[in-house]
Structure 1
Amino acid sequence: MNTDLLQILEKITKEEELILSGRNSVVKNLYTTKKDFIIDSKKMLEKGKLIDVRTHTRFTHFPKHKHNFVEIIYMCKGSTTHIINDISQVVLEEGDLLFLNQNAYQEILPAGEQDIAINFIVLPEFFDVAFSMLKGENMLKDFIVDSLRQDTGKSSYLHFKVANILPIQNLIENMIWSLMNKQPNNHKINQTTMGLLFLQLLNYTDKIEQSKNDPYDNYMTLSVLRYIEENYREASLTKLAEDLNQSVYSLSKLIKRNTGHTYKELLQVKRFNKAVELLTNTELSVSDIIAVVGYDNTSYFHRIFKEKYQMTPKQFRM
């Protein structure tokens, strides 16, 4: 991170001065007026703003709490330890990102002076521009987006270990700088930057780490969706179940429960999206495209394609 920017972020805040002087706990009324510790966006954001940043409060245990906004935590320097939903311990190292939706509980163990984390406070509507940049059907994208944006009642978090991914680090630093310096047109700039960040993160879903004890099976669902994205030509539910140490029956139920689709439907979406891409952007014959996307039954492909798009592959290309 830029040295000048990091020096600003390292400064002791007024709340931290109180803690160091003997208070020894966070100042709860800075975050909420309610009895339950739900951090309120109205306390964190100026009226009319959809996003802002603040440094994480160091030197004390941050008690269990929720947010009525999406929180994105970026580890600028050092590390912090987060307990999420009472069961998952996540250690953020320098360069890591942690996304928390509005239903995730967290508490944070005491951070030292050199442990510098940035909290992005984000209202869900801020993501409208970012998500509009993610074109096309993609079940992996949809799952990630929904886990962050929708108030589904599920406690979701995503931990990206992306310290070595330079474009991602640059985009985050640009957004921090823009928000802290109140750059002109920063609203549009930051919404676009968030969209670019999501596009980059979709290239690195293998960098997502989640506890296998997550009560809503997000770890397993992400593994399934990533497998389909990367292996759609020869994808096999039986092999996937073996790799994940699950029975085919239990994995099928989990997929349907968490995505609303069967494994076969997810695989078909991916294969047909790829077929449409090849029909649009290449000169490959239809028969070659059918083989490339993993089908060996030509008549079945033609029938399903026509049901989905109301035209034949040849007509679609024309």
Structure 2
Amino acid sequence: MDTFLYQELMKATEEELAILEGNQAVNKKIYTDLTSDFVIQSEKFLKDDLIMIRKHPRYIDFPRHSHDYIEMNYVFHGNFHQKVADKSITLKQGDILLLNQYIEHELAACEENDIVINFIIHPAFFDYILSNLSTGFIQSQMLYFLMNSIFDYSQKGEYLYYPVSNSDRIQDIMQQLLKEMMEESLLSKSKIKFLMGLLILELIEQQNQTNRSTQKSEQNAFLTEVFRYIEEHYQEANLQALAKCFNQTVYWISKQIKSLTNQNFKDLVQEKRLQVAKNLLVYSDLPMQAIAEEVGYENISYFYRLFKKKYGMTPKAYKMQLIKQD
């Protein structure tokens, strides 16, 4: 264990000092502006970024809550007791837990030597990761989890538990991530994104090695094939071609997708197209007509309507907002 990191993380934060001084109720204003359900909001932490790393406050129980982002818990030292949905889970030192934005959990108070790190991750971060995964990973449980989180298709609470304390490679990545969190250099944010991408790949590989002989459920296998088809063919994706892949009728494919995702095939394709269009607006200088055609829309007016409905502004307004921020 890195001695410097341990010493730094053992220091009490302002929130922890307030708790030690007698404030034994979670200050919800730090986490949410909502007054009804306890939903921790990403805007409280992420601002304009996609990933944020912070130490979980010790000495206090956290009531049942959910998030509007993907959360990752990492136990740097000690143990971490929580109830996820209705299941009690104890994370040991070095363990990792991923929770999507629909799962609820409640957390037991950490003691002084229990150091837990929370990673707050916007679902959009994983779009790039997924687009670069090789087909060898397509059946992984991690992929299914991320697809659910990004496509919002079932709004079902899910989590993935990784007892990876014995994996030197994963622990080394975590140490590097925490060092970048502490140092906050000019390139720290970029390094954190690259390291997080590497971590996801390592977790997928770890899971594949562990579960290589385990047969995936038919529903998971079906959905991952559907998502792979959309990832590879979103520009021209259609139900007829997908039905041929499964040697099934269009009606059967359509009904299966609707029953498993609560969305139509068209909705899933549209979600992917708009995600790619948004990335092109951010990372390319292509004109709007070219972006619309690139993602599969020949009618630019229709593309504008869909984009505005999804993101609350036209593509041009979205682009201008990015330019002003720079």
Using the size of structure 1 for normalisation, the TM-score is: 0.64
In structure 2, the residue matched to 1:37 is 38
Q: Helix, strand or coil for the counterpart of 1:18?
A: helix
Q: Which stretch has the larger CA shift, 8-17 or 198-207?
A: 198-207
Cα distance change of structure 1 residues 8 and 261 upon mapping to structure 2, 3 Å threshold = closer
Cα distance change of structure 1 residues 183 and 51 upon mapping to structure 2, 3 Å threshold = same
In structure 2, the residue matched to 1:200 is 202
The 8 Å contact of residues 103 and 156 in structure 1, kept in 2 or not, is answered as: yes
Q: Helix, strand or coil for the counterpart of 2:88?
A: strand
Structure 1 residue 129, shift from structure 2 partner: 3.3
List runs of 5+ in structure 2 lacking aligned partners: 229-243, 246-326
Structure 1 residue 5, shift from structure 2 partner: 1.3
Q: Which amino acid letter does the alignment assign opposite residue 146 of structure 1?
A: M
Structure 1 residue 50, shift from structure 2 partner: 1.1
The 8 Å contact of residues 96 and 163 in structure 2, kept in 1 or not, is answered as: yes
Structure 1 residue 170, shift from structure 2 partner: 0.8
In structure 2, the residue matched to 1:286 is none
Cα distance change of structure 1 residues 226 and 61 upon mapping to structure 2, 3 Å threshold = farther
In structure 2, the residue matched to 1:301 is none
The 8 Å contact of residues 38 and 65 in structure 2, kept in 1 or not, is answered as: yes
- Residue deviations 1:77-110, cap 9 Å, x none? 000111111x111101000000000001010011
Cα distance change of structure 1 residues 119 and 145 upon mapping to structure 2, 3 Å threshold = same
Q: Give the distance between the partners of 1:51 and 1:191, measured in 2 at CA.
A: 7
In structure 1, the residue matched to 2:59 is 59
The percent of aligned pairs where both chains have the same amino acid is 33
The 8 Å contact of residues 80 and 114 in structure 2, kept in 1 or not, is answered as: yes
| 2:186 corresponds to which of 175, 184, 187 | 184
- Number of residue pairs aligned between Structure 1 and Structure 2: 225
Structure 1 residue 34, shift from structure 2 partner: 0.5
In structure 2, the residue matched to 1:94 is 93
Structure 1 residue 173, shift from structure 2 partner: 1.6
In structure 2, the residue matched to 1:282 is none
Structure 1 residue 148, shift from structure 2 partner: 4.5
Q: Helix, strand or coil for the counterpart of 2:161?
A: strand
The 8 Å contact of residues 129 and 192 in structure 1, kept in 2 or not, is answered as: no
Q: Give the distance between the partners of 2:77 and 2:27, measured in 1 at CA.
A: 24
- Residue deviations 1:255-308, cap 9 Å, x none? 34444369xx89xx9xxxxxxxxxxxxxxxxxxxxxxxxxxxxxxxxxxxxx87
Q: Helix, strand or coil for the counterpart of 1:260?
A: helix
Q: Give the distance between the partners of 2:32 and 2:71, measured in 1 at CA.
A: 15
Cα distance change of structure 1 residues 83 and 106 upon mapping to structure 2, 3 Å threshold = same
| 1:170 corresponds to which of 157, 169, 172 | 172
Q: Give the distance between the partners of 1:54 and 1:261, measured in 2 at CA.
A: 34
The 8 Å contact of residues 53 and 180 in structure 1, kept in 2 or not, is answered as: no
Q: Helix, strand or coil for the counterpart of 1:66?
A: strand
Structure 2 residue 127 is matched with structure 1 residue 128: yes
Residue pairs, 1:274-285, within 5 angstroms: none
In structure 2, the residue matched to 1:77 is 77
Q: Give the distance between the partners of 2:173 and 2:148, measured in 1 at CA.
A: 22
Structure 1 residue 143, shift from structure 2 partner: 1.8
Q: Which amino acid letter does the alignment assign opposite residue 167 of structure 2?
A: I
In structure 2, the residue matched to 1:146 is 147
Q: Give the distance between the partners of 2:179 and 2:130, measured in 1 at CA.
A: 22
Cα distance change of structure 1 residues 206 and 60 upon mapping to structure 2, 3 Å threshold = farther
The 8 Å contact of residues 131 and 195 in structure 1, kept in 2 or not, is answered as: no
The 8 Å contact of residues 51 and 193 in structure 2, kept in 1 or not, is answered as: no
Structure 2 residue 130 is matched with structure 1 residue 113: no
Q: Helix, strand or coil for the counterpart of 2:26?
A: coil
Structure 1 residue 68, shift from structure 2 partner: 0.7
Q: Which amino acid letter does the alignment assign opposite residue 20 of structure 1?
A: L
Q: Helix, strand or coil for the counterpart of 1:117?
A: strand
Cα distance change of structure 1 residues 77 and 134 upon mapping to structure 2, 3 Å threshold = same
Using the size of structure 2 for normalisation, the TM-score is: 0.63
Q: Give the distance between the partners of 1:172 and 1:128, measured in 2 at CA.
A: 21
Q: Which amino acid letter does the alignment assign opposite residue 260 of structure 1?
A: F
Q: Which amino acid letter does the alignment assign opposite residue 222 of structure 2?
A: G
Q: Helix, strand or coil for the counterpart of 1:192?
A: helix
- Residue deviations 1:4-24, cap 9 Å, x none? 112111111111112111121
Residue pairs, 1:245-284, within 5 angstroms: 255-260=217-222
Cα distance change of structure 1 residues 149 and 81 upon mapping to structure 2, 3 Å threshold = farther
Q: Give the distance between the partners of 1:67 and 1:73, measured in 2 at CA.
A: 13
Structure 1 residue 188, shift from structure 2 partner: 3.2
The 8 Å contact of residues 73 and 99 in structure 1, kept in 2 or not, is answered as: yes
The 8 Å contact of residues 130 and 191 in structure 1, kept in 2 or not, is answered as: no
Q: Helix, strand or coil for the counterpart of 1:103?
A: coil
